Every structure is written in structure tokens, then in C-alpha cells.
Chain A
């Protein structure tokens, strides 16, 4: 929701970044205020996923210029774990499998590290069990998944649900959903979208990265940005997504200077 005069929680200015010497982000600008839902769309290779990984601090990406201010602090100077503890959350496009680490233990360690950063007391195993049980409802997840290894043997939809479960527990200030909708059938998509909708509030913000308008039918964005060749080339309201759906990306590319 757009709230007048709400606080800018994340500000990306002229951000450039490269991986293995190849420049992928070529000056990204984005301002996100509390309460807002942003969608970033764009063709393959436009830099959408790179932006999400740079924001979360993936070591393979090197920031070469620009800045990112998160809640008044320089995000780029923080280690990935400190970004997470301070409220950045990335829902992975391909969540990793971690054999041998139980999902429940993983969730508890992650949850307590965020609690600690917030100056709150860590929860013991019993209290945490109660909390998790409550949060499972958000994504209608079977409790049996808690006792399995993290994501091991999960289907694509189960992995994405597990990501949203983590989001529900960590209660981030800024959640970045990297193609959370890809590979989901319509029923799974509804569950995941419904989960995200329960978690958005006037006190946090969401950035969705997606190829498809379909997701935006279920999580309605306040802003839609089009990314191409490492920049956000145009922005608009939710109607822009519908136009992209019917007309494709070419007309945007042609109308802007970075056009092919």
C-alpha cells in the first residue's frame, strides 16, 4: 500500500555491479518506502536476480559503484548475515538443500540470530516449536517438513513455501522475492501468494522479482518497474504489468534510450 510520507526504508542509487569482470548492473535506482509492494519485471539477463543477490550480499558479485541505504545505514558495508539480522530477507529462486541439518533447527538458529540483533531474548526449543506451529499456517505447510533436512527432497512448491515460512518467522523489513512464482502450479502459487499477503504490513516492504504477470494477480503491486540491460528503464503502477503482459517488452525497450 502507498502511504503518504511513510519512511524510505531502502534507497538504491546508481548501483553498478559485476560478476567475474562482467558488468551486470549499470546504474540501478530504486526507492522503497514502508508499506509498499514493488514488482521488478524484465527479460532474462536484464539483471533482476543479480540485483536481489547484490542486495542480500552474495560474495560472487562485486559492487563497483553507487550506494544502497537501508534504514539510514550503508547496506553494502554489512556482511550478509548482518543484513539478514537487520531485516533484509531474500527468498531464493533456487533454495538450497542442506542434508543433515533439520529444518526445525535451521529455522530456530535463523530466528534467534534475528532476535538477538533486535535486542530480544532468544527463544528456547519449546517456545519456538509453538511459534513455528503458528507460522506453518501462513503457508499451510505440513509439520512433517520440520523434521526433514532443509529442503532435501522437497518439491519445487514445497521449497518455495519453506522460503515464505522463513520470511514469516524472520519478519523482515524488506523482503525480496526472487522469482518465487516460477515453477509453481496455480494451487501452490495461490498458497504462496496468500502467505506473502498475510505478511505485508504498513511497517515493511516487499520487492517481487518475476517474469510473469500471473503472480501480480495474487499479490497486487503498488509499483511496477521494468529492468533491462542492468537498469530500471521505466516504472509505473500495476497497469504497467498488464501492458507488458499483452505487448511484451520490446515497446518499452524501443521507447527508452537503452533500447537494443
Chain B
């Protein structure tokens, strides 16, 4: 009986995914179409994830399947975007996954820095990097199968880019599916800050985003990923990072969730003495579900990783954290730290946390931990007894919990904007 049910489910799955694949119009670029075809084949052989899959145990996407998704022409008429003054001339805007030059602005960047959509980049060796580190997940493959354009940040070697680069993805239209795609390639000894932001002027929609980042030897990338979707939205995002030796990568991932939000972070250290810092803040309430899955592979000696994921969960919301760290035999003298801290604002709020360290090297320093706490009456009373009213006391404590992550963002206007959102939470 069980087998039969599964068989039926599989047939339906393929139907659903195949229907999504049919939404995408073919491209005339031969190499890209080839890439898309092989991803499409992978999608067709895959099944739509359910809570029976270990990786999706808590994250139920069945309500996404009820939405009749369509590719929607971007509606630019009443579109207003938040411009960051620090990135006023280093901004790419994509609406429903489509590059929108009228809203973008790129000027005065140093020579050797390219910030552009895909068209006209034939002189760069995009093929060597695009979709080469994305892993094998059905949603990532679905994105690749439909690639029509890419937000590209390309920094040649020995360049420190002072200006942060803002990649803004906006969704409009009901029940639309958009598949943002970013490719960041940073050469030896170069440094760059990337601000990847998702916003929307719509209620129910599906964003399926993939960002690949290549950090070459001794290069440094600070990547801030801001997700501000509607509370009805579905958001699946993949960040795949490949780090060469001596490189430094930092991710500050701030998520305010949707109906269902999932971020898969995949970091691959491919050389020795490489540093990875992952900071995460998720703030959800109502019936929201937000899931952060990270996989960090330290394959070489002297690797360092620091991970701090903080979740603030109100009402009946549900936060999930799964953090895998692999330290194989070759990765001697690794120093890996992971901490997941959760603040529950209601008795019905829920957190599932799973640190997963797999260590086979024998001379390493690895630590992990998870905490769950609530706003204590005693803490609030202490603040009240100093003249701070209950609401402000509550806000002060929530702010304090959140600002530890937000204060790591080096772009002041963005930091202020986020602290403002946190205040209203």
C-alpha cells in the first residue's frame, strides 16, 4: 500500500515540476541552453520534496503546490525601490527576475570591476563558473533550468572595491514565480562587499533564488543577504560559496521570512588557512516558517569557521536551523565554532535546531551549541523598575538580541533600515 501511494505521489511530482519547467522560454545562447537542459533533466528525475525527506522534515511546501504559478511580466508602473546611498551608483535591479536598467545604476567603479547583467559579457569566462558549484538540489536545478539572465559581479585580481554592490530583486504580481540568479567572482587579493536584497510588492508568489560566489586566493567577500518578503510568500534560496586558500568569506543573512522561507548555505573551503564567518538573524511571527540549512566543508588544514545563527520567533511561528560542519581527516588544526541562539516570544512559538558536526581529523578545535530562551518577566521588571515601560522594555530586549547580528553589517544606511524594521517587530 505504502509503495503504491509513493508511486502515485511521484507521478504527481513530476507533473508539477514538469509544468514549472514548461514555463521557461528557451534561450538562443547555445552553451546556456545546454546548461539549462542538463539541469532540466535533473529536475525531471527528481521528486518534489516533502516532509518525508530528512532535509525537509519540518519545512512543508505542500501549500506552494496549491498556487498556480506563472511567469509574470514585471509591473514597473507603481514600483518604488529603496536606494541605499552608499550604493547609489553600484546597483542592479531585477524585477520578477528580469533585469531593469531604468532602476539600476552603475557608474564610477574601478577598472577591473564588472557589475552587469549577462548580456554583453562574452569576454568574461562565465561558463567556467555559472552553475558549477550549485550542488544537487531540485530547486537549485529548477533555477538553472530557467536561467535567462544573471546578476554578475566580477572583480579582477588585486582590487579593493570600496563601494558596496547592491543587487536588488523585487517581485510584483500575484502567483508569480521569479528565479533570481547571481554570480560573484572575486580574483586573487581582491575585496568586495555584496548586498543581496529581496523585496516584493505582492502577496502570494514564489522566489527561487540561487547565488554562486567564487572567492579566489587571499580574496575577501562580505556578503549581506536581506530577505524581506510578504508573509504569504514562498522563498527558497541557495547560496553556494567556493573559497580558495587564504580567502575570507562572511555572510550576514537577515531574514524576515514569508509563509515558508528556506535558505540553503553551502560553503566549500578548497584550500588551507581559509576563513568562513556565517552570521544569521531570522525574525518571524504569525504562522511563518523559516528554515536555515547550512553545510560547511573544511577540507584543508588551518581552516577557521565561525557561525552564529539567531532566531526570534513570535506567535505560532516556527524556526528551523540545521548546521552541518564537515571536518575530514585532512583538515587538521581546524578551528570551527557554531552557535544557534533562539528567542521565543510566545508559548506557541517553536524552534527545531540541529547542529551536526562530523569530525574525523584528530587535532582540531570544534565547538557547537544551541540555546533557547524567552523574555523573562524578571528582565522586563528590572527595566521597568528603572522607569522604562513594558513595551519599551520588551523592544529593548528584542533589539539587543537582534542588533548583535545587524551591527555586523558595515553599510550604515542598511543597518539603520534594518534596526528600524526590528523596532516595529
Flag if A58 contacts B381 (CB, 8 Å): yes
Interface residue from B386, B389, B392, B403 paired with A166 (Cβ < 8 Å): B386
- Separation of A170 and B388 alpha carbons in the complex (Å): 13
- Separation of A84 and B386 alpha carbons in the complex (Å): 6
Flag if B384 contacts A99 (CB, 8 Å): no
Flag if B401 contacts A57 (CB, 8 Å): no
Chain A residues whose C-beta falls within 8 Å of the C-beta of B71 in the assembled complex: none
- Separation of A57 and B384 alpha carbons in the complex (Å): 9
B-contact bits for A105-122, CB 8 A (1 contact / 0 none): 010011001100100000
Flag if A81 contacts B384 (CB, 8 Å): yes
Flag if B381 contacts A84 (CB, 8 Å): no
Chain A residues whose C-beta falls within 8 Å of the C-beta of B379 in the assembled complex: 96, 98
Interface residue from A79, A92, A98, A114 paired with B384 (Cβ < 8 Å): A79
Flag if B377 contacts A110 (CB, 8 Å): no
B382 located at the interface, meaning its Cβ lies under 8 Å from any Cβ of chain A in the complex: yes
B385 located at the interface, meaning its Cβ lies under 8 Å from any Cβ of chain A in the complex: yes
Q: How far is the CB of B271 from chain A (nearest CB, A)?
A: 36
B-contact bits for A78-94, CB 8 A (1 contact / 0 none): 01110111000110100
Which of chain A's residues 127-185 have a Cβ closer than 8 Å to chain B? 149, 166, 170
Flag if B387 contacts A117 (CB, 8 Å): yes
- Separation of A92 and B404 alpha carbons in the complex (Å): 27
Flag if A79 contacts B382 (CB, 8 Å): no
Interface residue from A58, A59, A83, A109 paired with B388 (Cβ < 8 Å): A109
- Total contacting residues, chain B, CB less than 8 A: 21
Which of B387, B392, B396 is the most central at the interface, judged by chain A CB atoms within 10 Å of its CB?
A: B387
B9 located at the interface, meaning its Cβ lies under 8 Å from any Cβ of chain A in the complex: no
- Separation of A114 and B384 alpha carbons in the complex (Å): 12
- Separation of A100 and B397 alpha carbons in the complex (Å): 8
Q: How far is the CB of A42 from chain B (nearest CB, A)?
A: 22
- Separation of A192 and B362 alpha carbons in the complex (Å): 51
Which residue of chain B has its CB nearest to the CB of A83?
B385
A-contact bits for B58-92, CB 8 A (1 contact / 0 none): 00000000000000000000000000000000000
Chain A residues whose C-beta falls within 8 Å of the C-beta of B399 in the assembled complex: 100
A101 located at the interface, meaning its Cβ lies under 8 Å from any Cβ of chain B in the complex: yes
Flag if A113 contacts B385 (CB, 8 Å): no
Q: How far is the CB of B383 from chain A (nearest CB, A)?
A: 8
Q: How far is the CB of B405 from chain A (nearest CB, A)?
A: 10
Task: Please give the residue numbers on chain A whose beta carbons come within 8 Å of chain B beta carbons, in ascending order.
Answer: 56-60, 79-81, 83-85, 89-90, 92, 95-96, 98-101, 106, 109-110, 113-114, 117, 149, 166, 170
Additional A-B contacts beyond A57-B385, A99-B400, A100-B400 (6; CB < 8 A): A79-B389, A90-B385, A98-B379, A106-B386, A109-B386, A170-B386
* A to B CB contacts below 8 Å, 23 in the list: A56-B381, A57-B381, A57-B385, A59-B377, A80-B381, A80-B384, A81-B388, A83-B385, A84-B385, A85-B387, A92-B382, A95-B382, A98-B379, A99-B404, A100-B399, A100-B403, A100-B404, A101-B397, A109-B386, A109-B387, A113-B387, A113-B388, A170-B386
Pairs of residues from A and B, 8 with the lowest C-beta to C-beta distance, nearest first: A100-B400, A113-B387, A110-B386, A80-B384, A84-B387, A96-B382, A101-B400, A85-B387
